[in-house]
Structure 1
Amino acid sequence: MSGRLDGRVALVTGGGSGIGAAACRALAKEGAAVAVTDLSPEAAHAVVDSIAAAGGRAKAFAHDVTLPEDWERVVEEVEAAFGRLDILVNNAGMTTVGNELMSHSLENWRRTLSVNLDGVFYGHRFAGPLILKGGRGGSVINLSSIMGKIATPGAAAYCASKGAVLMLTKAAALEWAPL
């Protein structure tokens, strides 16, 4: 541990697997206390256990990023558990491929946009005030994809959602820079 993030608290969505789990472990290795959120409480707890085994500090939270009420609850629970929030990693996402645009189901289209885009928006909306409350700045990291810049046949919903995350990130940066 280098201690670069000692005293900092990070919240990582989709932290129970893949890139999210790796981000949780890396943040903890640098000294941050980590709120591991995931749809799967079991997956989140497994990551928390691995962080604890390595000497880090983390807590698991069941979290559906598509639900504003889940965001409100998780942010309140993170503040209660850690007293602050300094870093938000909007990682939760889903991939949809093999869905020809003209026959792509509306249900799948909406679910993809809800997870990949609305979840990021809600992260800004609900976690942002807690980050600002800390008074020492913070970081928001939104994960997108090259497919947000380069289209791929059969992945219109995914491409649209990830392109929108890129623009949301730029807009948020411009709004929040003066803060």
Structure 2
Amino acid sequence: MSDFTNQVVFITGAGSGIGRATALVFARAGASVVVSDVNQSSGPNVVSQIHQLGGHALFVACDVAVPTQIEAAIRHAIDVYGKLDIGINNAGIGGKYGRFTEQTQSDFDQIMAVNVGGVFYGMQFQIQQMLTQPEGGRIVNVSSIAGVRGMPMGAPYSASKHAVIGLTKTAALEYARQRIRVNAVCPVYTHSAMVDELIQQAPAMEEKMRRMIPMGRFGQPEEIAQAILWLCSDENAFVTGQAIQLDGGLTAG
């Protein structure tokens, strides 16, 4: 495992699912982890788990749909730790399961505020800090397999995740010479609160979703977290602007 001792990691949506798994894997690798989440009970629970592992962590409440809250959370992390080595923009919502014409303006606006605005402003404030650091920094954004292909019954979600990849590639090009690497991961259905909510909306979809994946199973949050860790390691210093598909073979055909 790569050593992230003396590095500071800021993670949005870190109270559950992929965010929680990512917080724990970085803590085990020696990093100081800033756990950010809108949920003010699950976030502190993750911090407690990290402390039990002997790691360093703090919780910052943050609704990524509100840019001023993202800025305040990142500034607090920098005030406490003095720097920001890694930003993981993971917070997201799935939205309503329905056809294109059934989606409302409020459905669309909410998904864009969280899934796109949260990533855009998170990256903006993270990059501003990283530009002041000689060593630069690393950013990983959590997109989705719905960011590289269409997603019937989830048009706003698919649009938002395509946007995350566009933001990732653009920032990677703009800041490559400043030693800031920006990548994305694109998971297929992964065990998380978001997928559980989707299944609750359409229970018959669960088996169909599994059959779509050649491996015949959903992803595990820990598997996505390991890919994020890999993208942030110094051993992969030549990797930037990539959208890594973690899909059990779904897009291989």
Fold shared per TM-score above 0.5: yes
Is structure 2 residue 30 aligned with structure 1 residue 16?
no
Of residues 130-139 and 102-111 in structure 1, the stretch that sits farther from structure 2 once superposed is 130-139
Aligned to 1:141: 140
Under a length normalisation based on structure 1, what TM-score does the superposition of the two structures give? 0.96
Alpha-carbon distance in 2 for matches of 1:165, 1:45:
27
- Residue of structure 2 in register with 1:154 after alignment: 153
Q: C-alpha distance in 2, partners of 1:91/1:75? A: 14
Offset of 1:99 from its aligned partner?
A: 2.0
Q: Could you tell me how far apart the structure 2 residues matched to 1:13 and 1:161 are?
A: 17
Q: For residues 153 and 41 of structure 2, what CA distance do their matches in structure 1 show? A: 32
Separation (CA, whole Å) in 2 of partners of 1:142 and 1:76: 19
Gaps of 5+ in 2: 179-253
Q: In the aligned structure 2, how far is the partner of 1:103 from the partner of 1:3?
A: 46
Give the alignment's TM-score, normalised by structure 2. 0.68
Please list every run of at least 4 consecutive aligned residues from structure 1 whose deviation after the TM superposition is greater than 6 angstroms.
Answer: none
Contact 2:71 2:122 in 1 (8 A): no
SS in structure 2 at match of 1:41: coil
Residues 3 and 31, structure 1, Cα contact 8 Å, conserved in 2: no
**Match of residue 130 from structure 2:** 131
Unaligned runs of 5+ in 1: none
- What displacement does 1:103 show? 2.0
The alignment status of 1:84 with 2:68, answered yes or no, reads: no
**Structure-2 residue corresponding to 1:36:** 35
Distance 1:14 1:27 in 2: 15
Asked whether the equivalents of residues 35 and 43 of structure 2 are also in contact (C-alpha less than 8 Å), the reply is: yes
Provide the identity percentage: 37
Cα deviation digits, residues 104-128 of structure 1 (max 9, x gap): 1110111011111110000111121
Whether the aligned pair in 2 keeps the contact of 1:65 and 1:115 (CA below 8 Å) is yes
Q: Secondary structure at the match of 2:121?
A: helix
Tell me how far 1:3 sits from its aligned partner.
Answer: 6.5
Query: What secondary structure does 2:9 align onto?
Result: strand
Q: How many residues align?
A: 178
